[in-house]
Amino acid sequence: MTNSTSQGKDTADALVTKAITATGDEYFQSERALLARGAAAIAALQQRAQDPDPVARFVVKTLLDWIEGRAADNDAALQYLDAAEKRYARTPVGNPPPTGVARYLVEHYAGRVTPVLTLRLIKEDSWPHWRVMAVLFYVQQYPDKELLAPLTHFAATTTEAEWRNEAVETVNVIRGVKRAQSLAP
C-alpha cells in the first residue's frame, strides 16, 4: 500500500515537472493527466507553488485554479477558439479576426480566462497567428501582474517578430507604461 501511494505521488510529481518544463504534445499529455486526476493532483502541484522560477509558479497556479474551480470557463473559452477556427476556415477570410475574437472573450468571460489562455500561449508549439494575436489583445484588456512572467518569457523566446512586439506591448500595458490596444471595430 505504501509503495503504491509512493509510486502514484512520484508520477504526479513527474507530471507537474513535465507541465512546467515541456511544451507542445508533451505538455498537453501532462496537463490532461493532471486535470483528470483532479483533487489527487493538488498536493503535487502545491509542492511547486513556491518554485523560485516565476513562470513555473504561474503554470502551477493556473493548473491549480483550473482543477479547483475554473474548469467551466477555461474549457468553454478553449472550445470557442477551436470552434471559431473551424467556422472561419469555411469563409473567404480563412481565419477569425484577432480583435473580434478578443472582443468575444471580453464580452463572455471578462478577465476570467486570461491565465489559461496565457498558459496555452507559452505552451503551444503551433498556434496560428490569429490565436496568438487574439490572446495578446484580450490579455491587454485585463492587465494582471500575475501574467508578467509568462508574457515576458514568451516575448524573450518567440522567434516571430510580430508576436514578440505585441507581447512586449502587453507586458508594457501590464507594467503601466503603455495603454492597451483598442478593440473597437
Which residues in this chain contact another protein in the complex, by CB under 8 A? 52-55, 145, 148-149, 152-153, 155-157, 164-165, 168, 171-172, 175, 177-179
CA distance 23 to 3: 31
Nearer to another protein, 42 or 55 (CB): 55
Nearer to another protein, 142 or 163 (CB): 163
| H helical segments located in 38-176 | 42-47, 54-65, 71-89, 98-109, 114-123, 129-140, 148-157, 161-175
Q: Are 24 and 125 in contact (CB under 8 A)?
A: yes
Q: Which residue has the cell 516571430?
A: 160
Nearer to another protein, 23 or 79 (CB): 23
CB of 87 to another protein, least distance (A): 33
Q: Are 51 and 20 in contact (CB under 8 A)?
A: yes
CA distance 22 to 94: 30
**183, three cell numbers:** 478593440
CB of 78 to another protein, least distance (A): 26
Nearer to another protein, 60 or 171 (CB): 171
**171, three cell numbers:** 507586458
CB of 168 to another protein, least distance (A): 5
Nearer to another protein, 51 or 73 (CB): 51
CB of 18 to another protein, least distance (A): 19
CB of 167 to another protein, least distance (A): 9
* Cα-Cα end-to-end distance for the chain: 61
